[in-house]
Amino acid sequence: MPLTDRIRAQAAALGFDLVGVSPAAPVPTFDRYREWLARGYHGDMAYLSRVDRVARRGDPTRILPGVCSVVSVGLNYYPGSLPPEVADDPARGRFSRYAWGGDYHDLILPRLKRLAEFIIAESGGEGEYRAYVDTGPVLERAYAAQAGLGFIGKSTNLINPRFGPWLFLGEILLTVELEPTPPPPLPSCGNCRRCLDACPTGALTAPYLLDARRCLSYLTIEARGAIPIELRPRLGNRVYGCDVCLEVCPWSRFARPTDEDALRPSSPEEAAPPLVELMRLDEAAFRQRYRGTPIYRLKRRGLLRNVAVALGNWGDPAAIPALTAALHDPEPLIREHAAWALAQIGAGRR
């Protein structure tokens, strides 16, 4: 069996849904990445524009000297949908589907390392590697597209015809020379612009161009300070991320639930808990509840900032006691957003 086929078989045995190989050469879209940074569209994510990190994204040999190949993998994380009575309840917080279960880094990275060690062993036992799950200086969607895992859509997400846009990506940089897997004929977005039209904040300023500063995923996860007042009503009851551009994508009709139990919620209520309940979380309760999940990296101050905005958007007086208590929270960020929410509820009652 050719090595590429053995790699495919091993990747499948490890639970990956997609795998492909591309040369470890600078990606053709690197100049577009530089232009994106020059526009300031990365917002407060200063690590993206650091000179050393930009250089490494442009030249993988700066990450791993002697690198020859990039192995890209994809893992379907689509957990399905919530019952309408839960999903449509404005008193519940909405979390991006990728955060309904456990932390995907803990799931994927050990498997990537096992795959890398398998490849090195099958190639004669010599070689080095670096493995990343969205934390390394690698333009992962570009390499995944080159390896045939899918095409990059107007939403800037990688889209696979079998799984839609619901994919976690991982990469292995190897000093082993592997035969590339040429991309199969893939479709494109054509004239479709559903993601652009549906984006709650207009963050998709043009096809294939995202202004992260307006993206609800950025605002609720990556942004560390106050959420701009003019954008707060656009959050609705979203408290962690946003799936709108994924949900409206026509390719999502092919999505099927993941086989990974760890990526599914223990119950519908756990995926969309009551906002008032979240607003009452102290530090110990937050850690106990969200340790081992993607939400943990947001920290309590970030989550309760978002929850306060969602309660203000809900506008129900039932939220007043929890928000009033939050006015005395030791975190200024929480206090400020709780005061805004109370003002919203008060304005709605007049």
Indicate whether 21 and 162 sit together in one domain. Answer: yes
Indicate whether 212 and 143 sit together in one domain. Answer: no
Residue 298 belongs to what domain range?
A: 201-241+274-349
pLDDT at 95: 97
Active-site hit among 31, 88, 134, 282: 134
Q: How many domains does the chain have?
A: 2
Per-residue burial over 10-47, b = 16 or more CB atoms within 10 Å of its CB, e = otherwise: bbeebebbbbbbbbbeebebeeebeebeeeebbbeeee
pLDDT at 156: 97
- Cα–Cα distance measured from residue 97 to residue 80, given in angstroms and rounded to the nearest whole number: 8
Indicate whether 160 and 29 sit together in one domain. Answer: yes
Q: What is the mean pLDDT of the chain?
A: 96
Distances (CA, A) of 337 to 133, 182, 275, 313: 32, 50, 14, 12
CB 329 within 8 A of CB 279: no
Nearest to 25 by CA among 63, 80, 67: 67
- Cα–Cα distance measured from residue 102 to residue 295, given in angstroms and rounded to the nearest whole number: 9
134 is catalytic: yes
pLDDT at 334: 98
Q: Is 138 contained in some domain?
A: yes
Per-residue pLDDT band for 350 (boundaries 50, 70, 90) equals low
Last residue of a domain, one of 155, 174, 193: 174
Indicate whether 137 and 222 sit together in one domain. Answer: no
| Assigned token pair, 67 | 């690198």
Provide the whole-model pTM: 0.94
pLDDT at 185: 87
Contacts of 326 (CB under 8 A, 6+ apart): 279, 304, 308, 334, 335, 338
